[in-house]
Amino acid sequence: MKRKNPIDEARRYVENARKTLKENGELDTELNIYQDDKYVRAAGNYLWLGVLMALDAVFHVREDRRTRVDIKDYRDAVGKRDKKLLALINSGYDVLHLYMNYDGNQSKGVSDEGFRLANNIIDRCAVLVN
C-alpha cells in the first residue's frame, strides 16, 4: 500500500526501527550494548530508508533515473540548497547506513545517535517540503 505523505511514512519507518530494537534487541545494561547485531542492522536499515524517503520528498533525486541512485547524488542535490541538512546527511550516512546497518555496531549510544540524526533529517525535510 502506497502512502500519500512521504514524511509521515518516513516517521513510520523510524517507529518501526524503534519497535524492532525495543521488542527484539536485548540490551546488556551493564555494557550498554545490544546482544544481537541482527536487530541493530534491521533498525539501521529502517532508519536509513526513512531518511531516503524524506529526502526524495524534497529533492526528487530518484525521478527520471535509469541507474541506481548513489549517496553522491543526494549530497549534490542537498548541498545546493541546505548546507546544514548536508552535514546531517553526512553524519546520518555514517551512523545509520555504515555503523548500524553494515557494521551492526551494537553500542546503544550509536543507536541513540542514529535515531536522533534520522529524526533531525526528517524534521528538516518536513520544513523544506512545505
- In the chain, what is the straight-line distance between the N-terminal and C-terminal CA atoms, in Å? 23
- pLDDT value at residue 19: 98
In a domain, 33, yes or no: yes
pLDDT in tens, the chain (130 residues): 455 899 999 999 999 999 999 999 999 999 999 999 999 999 999 999 999 999 999 998 888 677 888 999 999 999 999 999 999 999 999 999 999 999 999 999 999 999 999 999 999 999 998 7
Q: How many domains does the chain have?
A: 1
Q: Is residue 105 part of a domain?
A: yes
Its sign, for the CA torsion 8, 61, 130, 124, is positive
- Confirm whether 88 is domain-assigned: yes
Structural domain that includes position 50: 6-61+69-129
Residue 1 lies in a domain: no
Q: Is residue 55 part of a domain?
A: yes
Q: What is the CATH number of the domain that holds 30?
A: 1.20.120.330
Alpha-carbon distances, residue 74 vs 6, 35, 98, 121 (angstroms): 16, 33, 16, 13
Can you tell me the distance from the alpha carbon of 25 to that of 100, in angstroms, rounded to the nearest whole number? 13
Output the pTM of the full model.
0.93
In a domain, 30, yes or no: yes
